[in-house]
Chains A and B, each alone.
Chain A
């Protein structure tokens, strides 16, 4: 009798845990009905609340020793002392037992763990579940069942001996199905089953705190809050206390105030996830950045109404010189406006006359010819700051373009640059200090009598043909991309042979296309070579490959720049030094007609190759004599 009591205690203890039905899943695995099993596991999961399932009756502990209330089985589980099957009955008309009301406020009901009253598939109150053989609400519907979704119910499969309620369908002589239920005492064949549990708390979860009048406030504060996260995740998501400084710090958003007096941030539209412009992206203090993003709009409807197209949007505000509210306001000064035609021709206009340069819709009637003028294509801010992190001056430069119907969506480029007030404007940016850094442009210039003269854009002094849409070498709008140190490049355009009427003119034009407008003759040997030290500059050697035969027209078809560089300095931190630059221009060696394919196109290419000519490093000290018979380096691997 003591063992029986222990079993009961175990059942009770296990039942309070949320995985009370876990054993049922394993026991029920012989169920062939997959749907039933799935439903069952769902039910199991839904019953993980600490309260018992609503179908459970609310007996006290002594109730379990009473005959089962559901009337499914006449077997009394507590009296299944023998291991023999108990009496089994055929369920003909179970009497629906009245359910007890919901648990009272402030107390948890003691759950019922007699297996005959557990029915995990019974999820509807006072309604019969199809194929749920243990549902006491099923009366005549039983004859419609074809199988039992739950065939066995047990409480804890780890126990050596326990009650198991089993349900099966039987066909009556009249051809109808009827449920046969029985409660048996099953012996667990497992060697490591639990014979006797003397620590009940070890088998169950802690009993949750039930809200009462006394503890409601503490519980509420514990669980209050609306978040979609794990409890661990929410703790780390708490915001850091933002320290308020007067001056801007690196990475701070720049505060602005618009005409209405509304505070905001200086916006530098950028893209995230897609290429569309996200207009609200704040610009960060002291972070020079360039962002190019896409703007899609309807030319006819949005030209004059869309704010993002108008340059006033990007300059019609004041900037706070400091973070604090009483800081002075700095206006955004428009220093240049460049108008760009649809073909890419740029004309500079006087920025003081601002009014004419708002977006204007031209030809709104023509379906294919709607043109929006003065659309912002590029914005460049230059922010001047002091050592104290105070903004003293902000200038904006715009490129406004003519946008046709077929040109949308357009690219908009936004650039912000921070310039220190006290510093002298540097003549050019180094490409390394001292050696070149991979990925930075080669510095090139033209030699005069006493110094090297750098071009207007020293970053793109040495350039190759960039990729362009129309691929036509003679279109005049070929983009160029700078030669970057260490990056081998090839690119090109096509030449139509119909244009090869005037050979000399064509040759000159193509040289210009290959070399660019201003081709320098010297390249800085180090990334930080100053223009005044002319000896540190490497001349660009010229090499032209032309046809040997007497061709009537020799036109240059390719430009190859070979940059030889070497490593300089210590072994651990070698610096890249350019030792020679050779420009190889190759003209056609056979007749143009042979070169071109049937459609008359000849490819014109530019390429850059970087060749490492450094000699192998030599040790700077006399090496001591060594014994050649060496053990492999990892012979004593873990010891050394």
Chain B
């Protein structure tokens, strides 16, 4: 007649001891060794507190329709310039040369965020002049919303020069965000929501590129127009204008931020508990051994009732 297991359940055995015994001491030591070392292990293995994290977002960028153009028109350094700032245009006097500018911003994937700016600029150049260098400054408004709300005004600076006079400059690149310090995880940041170029100022120093770029680069958040391959087209007919065509794309940015309290706790908790589980298992085995074999004298209380009959 074969036996089979019809049912099973674990039996709980209690081990009792008084306060001032070795077993009590052992129990306290085990408790400390179980819960504190995982904290040390998790901390010493780096990355316990998440201090910097990243997220992706496509910023809301609008071209501000403000620009500043400086063009060298001879190898001796003669120049013509133009801007959308009336004060600067007044200052320029005879060096003012008004181009034809057409700009268009496109939302290609219809998600409500603009994806690129097409800018065409035709600078009339007389037959005696030749274009050797271009400095073009465009301003944008830049907004981030996902973690902290950032509203700022940024620049794209296109600078190209060539020893050979050209007829066209084609640039196509991304307007990339440069970040020195991570953003906070929430809040509104409008520190940089001021015009990069003070268009109301009548003074020439406000329009000096050295001042503008110098002030701009002090900021924590800036944008850089990254165009690895500008195309400079050589050869211009005498009466033809100089053309600049720029495609400025607004890519999805990876933005780093300081995580909030609960995000930090969440990740630290996971790390701590994962190490703690190992310690719990190990010390459970040790305790099983110690108490079952009565290494330390304790009074076991068996779960089964003693039949005293």
Measured CB to CB, the residues of A under 8 A from B are: 19, 22, 45, 227-230, 232-233, 237, 239-240, 253, 265, 270-274, 276, 278-282, 284, 289, 291, 296, 409, 632, 634-635, 637-638
Shortest distance from the beta carbon of B126 to any chain A beta carbon, whole Å? 17
Contacts of B207 in A (CB 8 A): 272-273
Contacts of B106 in A (CB 8 A): 45
Query: Is the beta-carbon distance between A274 and B70 smaller than 8 angstroms?
Result: yes
Complex-state Cα separation, A271 to B95, whole angstroms: 12
* CB within 8 Å for A233 and B65 given contacts A278-B204, A296-B78: yes
Query: Is the beta-carbon distance between A229 and B70 smaller than 8 angstroms?
Result: no
Contacts of B103 in A (CB 8 A): 228
Measured CB to CB, the residues of B under 8 A from A are: 43, 49, 51, 62-66, 68, 70, 76-79, 81, 84, 88, 90-93, 95, 101, 103, 106, 110, 135, 141, 199-200, 202-209, 261, 264-265
Query: Is the beta-carbon distance between B203 and A280 smaller than 8 angstroms?
Result: no
Query: Is the beta-carbon distance between A230 and B65 smaller than 8 angstroms?
Result: yes
Complex-state Cα separation, A230 to B105, whole angstroms: 10
Shortest distance from the beta carbon of B25 to any chain A beta carbon, whole Å? 22
Query: Is the beta-carbon distance between B91 and A230 smaller than 8 angstroms?
Result: no
A-B pairs with beta carbons under 8 Å apart, 29 shown = A19-B110, A22-B110, A230-B63, A230-B64, A232-B62, A232-B141, A233-B65, A233-B66, A239-B200, A265-B202, A272-B207, A273-B70, A273-B208, A274-B70, A274-B79, A276-B79, A278-B91, A278-B204, A279-B93, A281-B91, A281-B205, A282-B202, A296-B76, A409-B77, A634-B49, A637-B49, A637-B51, A638-B261, A638-B264
Query: Is the beta-carbon distance between B68 and A273 smaller than 8 angstroms?
Result: yes
Complex-state Cα separation, A637 to B47, whole angstroms: 12
Majority SS of interface residues in chain A? loop
Shortest distance from the beta carbon of B149 to any chain A beta carbon, whole Å? 16
Shortest distance from the beta carbon of B184 to any chain A beta carbon, whole Å? 13
Shortest distance from the beta carbon of A40 to any chain B beta carbon, whole Å? 14
Residue of B nearest to A22 (CB): B110
Majority SS of interface residues in chain B? mixed
Contacts of A279 in B (CB 8 A): 93
Complex-state Cα separation, A392 to B21, whole angstroms: 97
Query: Is the beta-carbon distance between B110 and A228 smaller than 8 angstroms?
Result: no
Complex-state Cα separation, A274 to B72, whole angstroms: 9
* CB within 8 Å for A273 and B202 given contacts A233-B65, A637-B51: no
Query: Is the beta-carbon distance between B209 and A638 smaller than 8 angstroms?
Result: no
Contacts of B141 in A (CB 8 A): 232-233
Query: Is the beta-carbon distance between B203 and A281 smaller than 8 angstroms?
Result: yes
Closest 9 A/B residue pairs (Cβ): A281-B204, A229-B65, A270-B204, A272-B204, A272-B207, A273-B70, A278-B91, A272-B208, A637-B49
The one of A228, A270, A280, A632 that contacts B205, using a Cβ cutoff of 8 Å: A270
Residue of B nearest to A277 (CB): B204
Shortest distance from the beta carbon of B88 to any chain A beta carbon, whole Å? 7
Residue of B nearest to A269 (CB): B204
Query: Is the beta-carbon distance between A272 and B79 smaller than 8 angstroms?
Result: no
Contacts of B91 in A (CB 8 A): 272, 278, 280-281
Query: Is the beta-carbon distance between B264 and A273 smaller than 8 angstroms?
Result: no
* CB within 8 Å for A272 and B88 given contacts A228-B65, A230-B63, A232-B62: yes
